[in-house]
């Protein structure tokens, strides 16, 4: 690793201080956050979701299967990855990854590239 410049060191120190302050402020909520995470994991299990798509360790909001299902439920002809991404507000790469992860389980892809729910036309 390269030696850090004086400016980089100062910035890192400020970032560390800010992180420590936020960690202290969030300590009272840790129990609630852990409980929420357990409840969300149980919900994903009930929906037969393997895991949420997060983008590799980022702490951004995570895409859930429910969000994609709600969007696709109203579409008889399916939707493109771009249209789904715009509807749920996530990057196309995240949507594509999610759809492929659950391909032939929850979603199917038509020859034109559009995606739909499996069995949606049967209901």
Q: Enumerate the β-bridge partners of residue 116.
A: 108
75-109 per-position pLDDT tens digit: 888 999 999 999 888 899 999 999 999 998 899 99
In terms of domains, do 42 and 71 share one?
no
In terms of domains, do 84 and 123 share one?
yes
Is pTM beyond 0.75 here? no
* Domain carrying residue 21: 1-46
Asked if residue 57 is part of any domain, the answer here is no
Tell me the C-alpha distance between 118 and 120, whole Å.
6
Long-range contacts of 98-103 (CB under 8 A, 24+ apart): 98/53, 98/63, 98/65, 98/68, 99/68, 101/50, 101/53, 102/49, 102/65
In terms of domains, do 5 and 30 share one?
yes
* Count of the separate structural domains present in the chain: 2
In terms of domains, do 68 and 117 share one?
yes
Least confident of 45-54, 67-76, 105-114: 45-54
In terms of domains, do 18 and 72 share one?
no
In terms of domains, do 24 and 68 share one?
no
């Amino acid at each position: 690793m390269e030696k850090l410049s004086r400016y980089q060191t100062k910035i890192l120190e400020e970032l560390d201080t800010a992180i420590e302050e936020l960690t202290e402020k969030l300590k009272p909520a840790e129990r609630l956050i852990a409980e929420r995470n357990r409840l969300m994991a149980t919900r994903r299990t009930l929906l037969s979701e393997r895991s949420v798509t997060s983008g590799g360790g980022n702490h951004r909001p995570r895409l859930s299967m429910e969000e994609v299902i709600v969007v696709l439920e109203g579409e008889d002809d399916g939707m493109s990855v771009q249209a789904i991404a715009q509807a749920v507000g996530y990057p196309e790469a995240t949507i594509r990854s999610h759809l492929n992860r659950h391909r032939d389980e929850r979603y199917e892809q038509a020859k034109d590239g559009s995606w739909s729910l499996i069995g949606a036309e049967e209901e």
